[in-house]
Amino acid sequence: MGGRILGVTAGMFLYGAVFLVAAATDLVSKEIVFARMGMPGFSPAVTVVPGMLWIETNLNEGALFGMGQGLGPLFAVVSVAALSLIVFAIVRTAAGREPLLVVALGLISGGIVGNLYDRLGLPGLAWHAPLERQGNRVLAVRDWIHFRLDGVIDWPIFNLADSWLVIGSATLLLLSLFPPRTPATDGHG
């Protein structure tokens, strides 16, 4: 069974579509949740699935799982560099011709942009606490999905951008372990 190969234009179109949908769903969801619930601590968590899933606002000045608190500027630079490399790979290499790879890189790019938007302070939020930070511009990622199984798991609060990053990265891992077979490599060509 041969893998499907995209032309350059189709690859760029697919990448752009996945990227835009991923970034838009993340940014719109954050805007809606923060507009309705306010800054962390303003509203109680909303139960979506009892004992498992809540909507709760949170601000993360670090990276995945809150690691690297205070290193936001470094993460912003790394984000721009990674996004540049991904776009280069889509436009100038064979990566832009493999549909699953293009989708994975589109999801990762959408996740990068969603969190980078927050890290740069573009939502225009200001800290309400602690007192010494009150009124300062928020340069942190807006998170709102809280998954936990009482007494077993309390996952750090995350957002859709984080989900897109994880799904895209997991897809890249699977592609590296099980590369798609193309007509030139499947023994029929």
Catalytic: 154?
A: no
CB 40 within 8 A of CB 138: no
Question: CA–CA separation, 104 vs 102, rounded Å?
Answer: 5
CB 18 within 8 A of CB 107: yes
Q: Which of 143, 150, 154, 186 is catalytic?
A: 143
Q: Exposed e or buried b for every residue in 144-180, given b needs 16+ CB within 10 A? A: bbbeeeeeeeeebbbbbbbbbbebbeebbeeeeeeeb
Catalytic: 186?
A: no
Q: Which of 26, 150, 154, 162 is catalytic?
A: 162
CA 165 remoteness from chain centre: 4
**What residues are labeled active site?**
143, 162
